[in-house]
Amino acid sequence: MRRILLISMLLPLVAMVFSGKIEAQELKAYQLFEGDGSKTDFGQMVERIKEADVVFFGEFHNNPICHWLQREILEILYGEHGDNLVVGAEFFEAHDQLILDEYFSGYISENNFNNEARFWGNYDTDYKPMVEYARQRGLPFIATNVPRRYANLIFREGFEGLDSLPVQDGRQYMAPLPIEVDMDLRTYQMMLEMAHGEGADKFVYAQAIKDATMAHFIHENMEENTRFYHINGSFHTNYKEGIIWYLERLNPELNIVNISSVTAPDAKEWNDEHDGIGDFVLSINQNMTPTH
């Protein structure tokens, strides 16, 4: 009887210890926060972004959590807004718009599209599912980014390098010139620190032409009832700067929500350094295996 009583008393204790051990070992792939560090969840975030005119998903280009959630959000926004939804992305450059439209319209085959569009190396694994989802539902997909050859020209020569570029040729693929560059923006200040020394300003200018161009093509493809969903590297929209800074100057009335991605040793723990980086912050375990 004593032995049975002792075992019955020890069992809850063993269970508590074992449970605590398992809990301590539990790994969380990601945690969603609001911009002030308060925890939230996917459902609460979705209710907010459904009301936005423009939703920016600031991603890490090689992160599977980002690409998974992007695709889930696309399906939800389509369910909410239907044919009023327009999708756009940094990973297509503006000179690819014609071939993108031809593929979506059925004029050319997928094989031609694959051979002639300028894909990023991880297109098939990371971005194709979103593109095909939009195509199959007849949603416009906008190639928003400036061709990299022009960003590189600015990086080498500054905006003066574009002076001799014919208006009807290369300039149609970028924001109207000249563009304003606010060097006091937090993200641009960070870039200046990274590229300290001679040529640092041109480093920022090359970023600014991308930001301004993506804002330009988002603005150009929005009508009265349009809702726009845009995918871009997180740095382009962190702190509602970059693309958003330019877009708000084109239309200050827009309701814009940005999701920013960060990494952390423990996704569940908030880092005060991320205060205000996004309306929503996707904190991802830093050991997450990259897609490429």
Summarize pLDDT for 55-85 with one digit per residue, the tens: 999 999 999 999 999 999 999 999 999 999 9
- Token representation of residue 148: 């990299």
- Residue among 172, 166, 152 at smallest CA distance from 220: 172
Across the chain, mean pLDDT equals 91
- Two structure tokens written together for 60: 């890490």
Indicate if the alpha-carbon torsion angle 270, 276, 279, 282 is positive or negative. Answer: negative
> For residue 201, which of 234, 148, 154, 233 has the smallest C-alpha distance?
154
The predicted structure's pLDDT at residue 166: 77
Band (pLDDT 50/70/90 cuts) for residue 184 is: very high
- Examine the pLDDT at 140 and tell me if it is beyond 90: yes
The correct answer on CATH 1.50.10.10 for the domain covering 29-285 is no
Where is average pLDDT lowest: 96-100, 162-166, 273-277? 162-166
Amino acid making up residue 241: E
Question: Average of pLDDT values for 223-247?
Answer: 97
**What's residue 264's pLDDT?**
96
Domain ranges of the chain: 29-285
Range 230-250 burial, b when 16+ CB lie within 10 A, else e: bbbbbbbbbbbbbbbbbbbee
Q: Residue 189 and residue 201: Cα distance in Å, rounded? A: 10
In the sheet that holds 54-59, the strands lie side by side as 39-40, 30-34, 280-285, 256-264, 54-59, 227-233, 85-93, 141-145
**Confidence band (pLDDT; 50, 70, 90) for 25?**
low
Rounded-to-integer distance, Cα 226 and Cα 83, Å: 9
Query: What is the band of 1 on the pLDDT scale with cuts at 50, 70, 90?
Result: very low
The structure's pTM equals 0.91
